[in-house]
Structure 1
Amino acid sequence: MNASPPVALTIAGSDCSAGAGLQADLKTFQHFGIFGLTAVTCVVAETPKVVRSVHAVPPAILQDQLRVMLDAFPVAAIKTGMLFSKAHIVAVTEILQQYPGIPLVIDPVMIASTGDPLLEENAISAYKERLFPLATVITPNLDEAEVLWGSPARDEATMERAARELSARHGCAVLLKGGHLGGPECADLLMEKDLPTWFRSPRIATPASHGTGCTLSAAIAASLALGKDLHEAIAEAKGYLEATLHTSFGWGDLAVLNQGTLPLP
């Protein structure tokens, strides 16, 4: 019998177009040689161009998925994506606080790339008060950071202040994604233990932005499951995301990432 691969769990919504959400996470896990588990929070009818409807899974069913997976498998890393509501965040927190030794990557999904809201407004306080204190790292983009921090970050100096304050406030590392700043580079900032580290990559001209946040956070979780430290995990995740953007494809006017089809590292 072959040796069992490391196991990672994604807690997120289902994207029927398979460019984001659970489907993107599983493709990413597969690329890194990770056995992926899922706990579904919502079923979303969407494409990269439109979010048509969202059907939330009852929080009790979400908790049952988590219990059975965490009881049955040696989960080495967990990531969260779309959690949708305060009730879902509370449900996830009640389970995950029983597993403090498992690295936890939180992508605080709030708005789809189409501009459609993916989080109920009253859920933001639950993120801050309940889930973030359990995190190894949170990965907000600039729009999400503005909601969480309370002010916009429009340059690298402001990004550093925002990341430092969010990290101190919630007791976890923060990877603040600066792709929305524009310019020739995508500059992301890791703030860990009050120490900043910048990760820079060239901006790629592509319409395939649907699912980039999901893919990046899943790649970080996969690398953590392989035993990498956070800096190395982020560097590998950034490299993987850059490669998927270079190899993205589309049908008509739909452009999607090409997750999971690259050679294993």
Structure 2
Amino acid sequence: MNTPPPVALSIAGSDCSAGAGLQADLKTFQHHGVFGLTAVTCVVAETPAVVRSVHAVPPAILQDQLRVMLDAFPIAAIKTGMLFSKAHIVAVTEILSEYRGIPLVIDPVMIASTGDPLLEENAISAYKERLFPLASVITPNLDEAEVLWGAPVRDELTMERAASELSARHGCAVLLKGGHLGAPVCADLLWDDGLPEWFRSDRIEGAASHGTGCTLSAAIAAQLALGADLHQAVQDAKAYLGETLRRSFAWGGIAALNQGTVWD
């Protein structure tokens, strides 16, 4: 009998265009040799160009998805993506607080790449007070970090200040993504146990951006499920994301990411 692969769980929204959300996470998990499970928080009618509508799954149904999978599978890592509302964050926290030994990667999804909001405003406090204290690492981009930190993040110096203070405030590692600085070299900062580590890569011009945050956090979760430490997980996830960006493509101006699939 074949040895079963490690198992990772994504708690996120469904993106019908399959470049972000649960669909991107599953592609990423499979690429890394990890068996992916999902708990659906929202069904989103979207493409990389527009978010048409969002239908939230009732929090009780979300909890039922989590309970049945945590009871049935040896889950080795968990990631969260779009959680949408305070009620959904509370629902997730109530369950995951019983499973603190499982590495937890939190991508605090707030705004789509189209600019459409993906999080109700009153949910931000629930992230800070309830979910972040359970995290192994949170992965905000600069816009999300400004909301969470409470001040603009416009350069590498303020990135260090923000990551340091967010890490101390919430008791977890912080991967602060610097792609929105717009520099020729994209600089991401991992702050872990009081120590900074920079990950730098050349900006890939013309690459699709839809789903990059989902893909990166899913790749980190996959690597943690495989037994990597956080620093190695981030390094490998960054390399994987770079490859998906180099392979990104479009249909009639609609950009997508080639996540985990080789198109020759």
Per the TM superposition, whether the score is higher than 0.5 is: yes
Looking at structure 1, the residues matched to 206 and 33 of structure 2 have their Cα atoms a distance apart, in angstroms, of 27
Preserved CA contact (<8 Å) 2:207 2:245: no
Q: What's the secondary structure of 2:108's corresponding residue?
A: coil
1:231-263 CA distances to partner (integer Å, 9 max, x unpaired)? 000000000000000011111001111001159
| Structure 1 segment 34-183 matched on structure 2, within 5 A | 34-183=34-183
Looking at structure 2, the residues matched to 262 and 2 of structure 1 have their Cα atoms a distance apart, in angstroms, of 25
Looking at structure 2, the residues matched to 13 and 141 of structure 1 have their Cα atoms a distance apart, in angstroms, of 18
Preserved CA contact (<8 Å) 2:20 2:212: yes
Report the AA paired with residue 64 of structure 2: D
Report the AA paired with residue 76 of structure 2: A
Residue segments in structure 1 that go unaligned for 5+ positions in a row: none
1:35-57 CA distances to partner (integer Å, 9 max, x unpaired)? 00000000000000000000000
Looking at structure 2, the residues matched to 125 and 39 of structure 1 have their Cα atoms a distance apart, in angstroms, of 22
Q: How many residues align?
A: 263
Looking at structure 2, the residues matched to 65 and 123 of structure 1 have their Cα atoms a distance apart, in angstroms, of 21
Match of 1:9 in 2: 9
Match of 1:235 in 2: 235
Looking at structure 2, the residues matched to 50 and 207 of structure 1 have their Cα atoms a distance apart, in angstroms, of 18
Identity of aligned residues (%): 84
Looking at structure 1, the residues matched to 169 and 199 of structure 2 have their Cα atoms a distance apart, in angstroms, of 23
Looking at structure 2, the residues matched to 183 and 142 of structure 1 have their Cα atoms a distance apart, in angstroms, of 13
Residue segments in structure 2 that go unaligned for 5+ positions in a row: none
Match of 2:252 in 1: 252
Q: What's the secondary structure of 2:40's corresponding residue?
A: strand
Looking at structure 2, the residues matched to 29 and 256 of structure 1 have their Cα atoms a distance apart, in angstroms, of 18
Q: Which runs of 4+ in 1 moved over 2 A?
A: none
Match of 2:30 in 1: 30
Q: What's the secondary structure of 1:186's corresponding residue?
A: strand
1:48-96 CA distances to partner (integer Å, 9 max, x unpaired)? 0000000000000000000000000000000000000000000000000
TM-score, with normalisation over the residues of structure 1?
0.98
Give the deviation of 1:207 after TM superposition.
Answer: 4.3
